[in-house]
Amino acid sequence: MSLAGTRLADHYTLIRPLGQGASSLVYVALGDDGEAYTVKLFAPPLADHAAREARMRVRGPHLAEVMLLSEVAGQPAVVLRFTKGTELFSRYRFRPALERERPAFVRTLSDVLEGLAAMHAGGWLHRDVKADNILVQKSGAATLLDYDLSGPIGETFAVPLRIGTAAFQSPEAQRGEVLGPQSDLYGVGVLLYWGLRGELPADGESDLAGEPLEKLCANLLEADPAKRPSDAEQVRAELLRSI
C-alpha cells in the first residue's frame, strides 16, 4: 500500500516511492520548507538499523545529511536531505571507467574519500562502502549514503559480526573482527580496481603493478589491515597526485 500523501513529523509529506533497499523502502518527500528529502522506512523488526542510521550525524559535503528519526504507519523512518545522482555502476556504464571517463571517476573516488575522512574524523565507520551506496552526478561529483550498518570506530559486539557486502568487504570484516578506518578504505580499493579493470577483484586477488593508481589500489587491497592505508585524506591526496 502506497503511503504517498502521509505526513511525517508535522513537516514532511511523502510524495512517491523511490525504490526498495536492502533493509528499507525509500520515499521522496517534500518538506514544508519547499526542499526535497529522502525518507527510509524500515520494518519494525529493523528498528535498530533505523536508530543506528539516525545516530550518524557527521556533516560533510559528500555525505547524505541525516535530519531525524521518526515513525510512519508504525514503521521507523529516517529522514535525510535528498541527494541527486545515479548509483555508481549505473553512472559508469562504459568500462573500465578510468579509461573511458578518467577525470569524472577520479572525482567520484575523491569525493567518497573526502566523505569517509569526515566520518572517520567524527569517530564513525561507514562499514558498507560499495557502488550501491554512492550516488554520482554527470560531472562525477558523488555522495556517500546509507548508514544503517555504520558505527563507532572500534565498536565491539558480544559475538563476531560480519558487517558489510561480500564483494566489497575487507578480510577483517569477513572474519568478524573489530574494524578501523582501514576496512572502509578496502572498499575504496575495490572500487578503484573496478575503475581500472572494469570488473571486481576475485577473492581479494589483484594483478596490479606499475602505474601509480595501480600501486595505490594494491595498497588499499592489502589483506593485512596493519599494512593498509588508514587515513582517507592521505589516500585522497595520493589519488589526486596519481592522475
Catalytic positions, written as ranges: 128
β-strands 151-152, 124-125 pairing: antiparallel
**Residue at grid coordinates 503511503:** 3
Residue 61: φ, ψ to 5° = -65, -20
230 closest CA partner among 79, 117, 124: 117
Kindly provide the residue ranges of all beta strands, DSSP E only, lying in the chain, ordered along the sequence: 7-8, 12-20, 24-31, 36-42, 66-72, 75-81, 86-87, 124-125, 134-136, 142-144, 151-152
Q: What angle do CA 84, 180, 164 make, to 5 degrees?
A: 55
SS3 label, residue 77: strand
The continuous run of DSSP H or E covering 103 comes out as: helix 102-121
